[in-house]
Amino acid sequence: MPRALLLENIHPLATTLLEESGYDVTSLKGALDESELIEALDGVSLLGIRSKTQVTDAVLAASHLDAVGAFCIGTNQIELAAAAQRGVAVFNAPFSNTRSVVELVLGEIIALSRRLTVQNSALHKGTWNKSASGAHEVRGRTLGIVGYGNIGTQLSVVAEALGMRVVFYDTAEKLALGNAHRMPSLDALLEESDVVTLHVDGRPGNAGMFGAAQFASMRPGALFLNLSRGFLVDYAALRARIEDGSLAGAAVDVFPTEPKAQGEAFESDLRGLPNVILTPHVGGSTEEAQHDIGQFVAGKLRDYQELGATYLSVNVPGLVLDRPREGSQRVTLLHQNVPGVMAQLNEVLSQHGANVEYQVLGTWGQFGYAVTDVSGTLPEGVVETISKESTTIRARVLDA
């Protein structure tokens, strides 16, 4: 029975779906470090993780994985190119928790604007301090969104429905939705925004993108939110701006170093500050989102193993595939994207007397992915011959 390992408390639905597909599934609540992960992957063909587990080249080299599922949006915790070079397809959940993050952002913007954290703390201490000082409606205020992807665009639409004016900045060309206005630079956005929220990806070039200079460019009394990646922000600089009153509040869901498991100690420069909301990386952690993510990513892993389908893979060419015709066999070939590979493949099939029923090729950058359905049983020696070609990364046979 093939084995799957799911880490970091992935929704039980993922376990159910993989078990129904014939997998022996081990599910753990916490993350594993590199040496622990290498040991745990002995005999495992599918790995499911969230944001804490690091899938390094050393992990990939020591394992025999077919695919990795990131049960989250980000994939910077996985060495994607190294995975592709070893024939390991990677899938994530780019849409499933978008709404959950957006709702948390808006809830925190309202809470910070009304200083609910401060008033709540005072009442819990027995102090009645009814005052409108520092409390604002969000209607009419300007929201600056840094990163206009899946989350940023949906946040833009919902924030406008609340009456906010939306501006955004993104290094890529993006279509503005509704009345949102694209800003020419990050500094221009900071100068206009009453609220600044980060929603950029985890590529290495974004590390440290928001520090003392960016906080100094923000409007006096503005709010700051980060629900994307912890290593983007200098939190010591943020603390200084909160303490000196330059910024009115902040909400942070992600941190440069996070505990690996429930109950472990948490340290941050932002602890103990007034009107600062700290949450333990739960932007996408609603029951609805985790259910949808579990279903989506487990389904992608299953379809890759059973059909060879790679649609929405983040590191190999994406192909949408139906189930092979009954009585046929499917050969999948991940290869270097160079001229002549398909000619080599078809020559091998012809030499072995294999009759091709269906064939499709997808390419993306340096990689190509070819899928071929052959009538009847695949002749002996075909996969071995294909695997020996210098351009081959990985060849597999899938039964109908």
Residues recognised as catalytic = 229, 258, 281
Q: Is the dihedral of CA 229, 230, 233, 239 positive or negative?
A: positive
> Alpha helix (H) ranges present in the chain?
12-20, 34-40, 57-62, 80-85, 98-113, 116-124, 150-161, 186-192, 212-217, 235-243, 287-307, 341-351, 382-387
Residue with tokens 């994985």: 65
Interatomic CA distance for residues 127 and 327, integer angstroms: 76
Check: CB of residue 374 under 8 Å from CB of residue 354: yes
Residue with tokens 């093939």: 2
The CB density around residue 257, as the number of other CB atoms within 10 Å, is 10
Check: CB of residue 83 under 8 Å from CB of residue 309: no
210: exposed, middle or buried (Cβ count in 10 Å: 0-12, 13-18, 19+): buried
DSSP notation for 275-304: TEEE-SS-TT-SHHHHHHHHHHHHHHHHHH
Q: Token digits for 62?
A: 């020591």
Interatomic CA distance for residues 204 and 230, integer angstroms: 12
